Structure 1
Amino acid sequence: MTLDGQIFVVTGAASGIGAATAALLRARGAEVIGVDRNEAAEFPGRFVRADLSTAEGVAAAAEQVPAGISGLLNIAGVPGTAPWELVLSVNVFGVRDLSRALLPKIADGGVIVNLASNVANGWAARQEDLARFAGAADRQQALASVAGDPEVVGHSYRFSKECVRWLTLATAAENLGRVRVVSVSPGPVQTPILEDFKKDHGRDKVEGAVTLLGRAGRPEDIARAIGFLVDPQAAWLNGTDVCVDGGLSAHRTVSAAAPATV
């Protein structure tokens, strides 16, 4: 599957899943514009240093992207060990606002891929709250509105990725017939922030999942899924999520539904 002549913007491109995705796309012939707050060593394409935690940072990054790109891959993210306001600013509003800014620059038939997470599996039960927060015109007012909510403040990463699931659906529905929008939900992945996930979600839980699966996911595992989603062969996948967690979610769902033994 070659991507000759196509141009993709990849956020979070300096490390982890973003770096692996950029390398895969470049190997398939695409031009890559990487966006990250950290410098990327030997990046295989054009690199834009930007802070996606503020509206100004998003606008500055968007200004450096030309019209006619093939897609936007929103991979940049902050783990739940960071201050909750930063987590929501980057993981929710950074994704939302960069997508809005670049949508007019995406060619017809293009694609947006958002990085969600398998911890967001319960997002559908909170659709109204997610839509209200992620759709707020004023991000500061939105942040203030959840400051007293322990479910949001104490689980900011999960909430942020639930918002990403909602944003994926909403953006897809608003752009039918022009730009596809999908999300990918990984489980534990061996990236520089895996230790943060252990601290945030529970070391025993994360390490137990890795033991169950035989290994953690690799950045390349997720990159390959993203590489398929941006390919024209995936043209009828839109407004949906692809879980790439080695079967961890399946195991947990079946285990939870199993009858108790006496």
Structure 2
Amino acid sequence: MLLEGKTIVVTGGNSGIGEQICLAAAAEGANIVIDYVAHPEATDSLIHRIEEAGGHAVGVDADITSASDLHAMVQKAVDAFGSLDVLVNNAGIEDRKSLLEETEEGYDKVMAVNMKSAFFGTQAAAKQFIAQGNGGLVLNISSVHEDWPMPGNLAYCVSKGGMRMLARSGGVELGPHGVRIVNIAPGAVDTPINTATTSDPDKLRQLDDAIPLGRPAKPHEIAEVVVFLASGKAAYMTSTTVTIDGGISQGSVGL
């Protein structure tokens, strides 16, 4: 199996893309640490599914907007499984407001969940990787909007643009320690964050028409790329972004 014996922490791991990452990585032999802040019953259900399939998983209730909680999350992963190999900064939100509409409260929340959590999560993981002495990997679930404008959702785009530079500059800083940072940039994905679009036939038709492959991604398709990047088959990749968008960023203006 591609991830046999590796320990992987997934923030926001009990729903959407995060849930599929946990399932896919566990199926390849990884020990899974599921970070969550809500719906503990969903975490328990996911742990049960993983264990029923012969895998190993634990849940950690950690507020990813708190640096101390993120460091504690990493320590709990080490306590549970002995070491840490991969952190997946997956948790994210958006509020779909323009520059002129955005509030300070809304901006702060988006930046805390999307950017601050990735920054200090990376810091916590990197310190553990360096202490272990054998390197490690941070995977950021970013977005095509780390580079591609999306009018009307500016705080989200700014947070993902920051994540872009976290990978590039952070990967350069940490490379001498064998610590790598790679971003994964999905386009439209059929997850709860996009329900307003996918549940509206007219909006979904417009979205499908804008994607060269004709449909949004399924969460498991993002998870499969995570598995590849977390495996030894991608060991020379760092400070870069892998785009998984069905070609949408090569087409019309962002939706």
Report TM bin, short chain. 0.7 to 0.9
- Given candidates 95, 99, 102, the residue that maps to 2:122 is 99
- What residue is the counterpart of 2:157 in the other structure? 158
Q: What CA distance in whole angstroms lies between the structure 2 residues aligned with 1:222 and 1:242? A: 11
- What residue is the counterpart of 1:22 in the other structure? 22
TM-score (norm 2): 0.78
SS of 2:184's partner is strand
SS of 2:220's partner is helix
Q: What CA distance in whole angstroms lies between the structure 2 residues aligned with 1:159 and 1:103? A: 24
Deviation at 1:74, TM superposition (A): 0.5
Q: What CA distance in whole angstroms lies between the structure 2 residues aligned with 1:208 and 1:73? A: 31
Aligned residues: 222
Deviation at 1:210, TM superposition (A): 2.5
Query: 2:210 is aligned with what amino acid?
Result: L
Cα pair 1:168 1:240 within 8 Å, conserved: yes
What are the equivalent positions in structure 2 for 1:1-262 lying under 5 Å apart? 1-38=1-38, 39=40, 40=43, 41-43=45-47, 44=50, 45-66=57-78, 68-81=83-96, 83-106=106-129, 107=132, 108-122=134-148, 155-177=154-176, 178-195=178-195, 198=197, 208-213=206-211, 214-252=214-252
Deviation at 1:187, TM superposition (A): 0.6
Cα pair 2:210 2:252 within 8 Å, conserved: no
Q: What CA distance in whole angstroms lies between the structure 1 residues aligned with 2:206 and 2:111? A: 27
Q: What CA distance in whole angstroms lies between the structure 2 residues aligned with 1:36 and 1:168? A: 23
Cα pair 2:74 2:84 within 8 Å, conserved: no
Structure 1 stretches of 4+ with a deviation exceeding 6 A read 151-154, 203-206
Deviation at 1:207, TM superposition (A): 5.3
Q: What CA distance in whole angstroms lies between the structure 1 residues aligned with 2:217 and 2:119? A: 26
Q: What CA distance in whole angstroms lies between the structure 2 residues aligned with 1:104 and 1:68? A: 12
Distance 1:110 1:57, change over 3 A: closer
C-alpha root-mean-square deviation of aligned residues, in Å? 2.6
SS of 1:47's partner is strand
TM-score (norm 1): 0.76
Q: What CA distance in whole angstroms lies between the structure 2 residues aligned with 1:188 and 1:26? A: 25
Deviation at 1:101, TM superposition (A): 1.2
Q: What CA distance in whole angstroms lies between the structure 2 residues aligned with 1:185 and 1:204? A: 25
SS of 1:34's partner is strand
Q: What CA distance in whole angstroms lies between the structure 1 residues aligned with 2:209 and 2:168? A: 33
For structure 2, the 5+ residue unaligned runs are 51-56, 97-104
Per-residue CA distance 1:97-155 (angstroms, 9 max, x = gap): 111012122252421100110122159xxxxxxxxxxxxxxxxxxxxxxxxxxx99961
Cα pair 1:187 1:244 within 8 Å, conserved: yes
Deviation at 1:51, TM superposition (A): 1.4
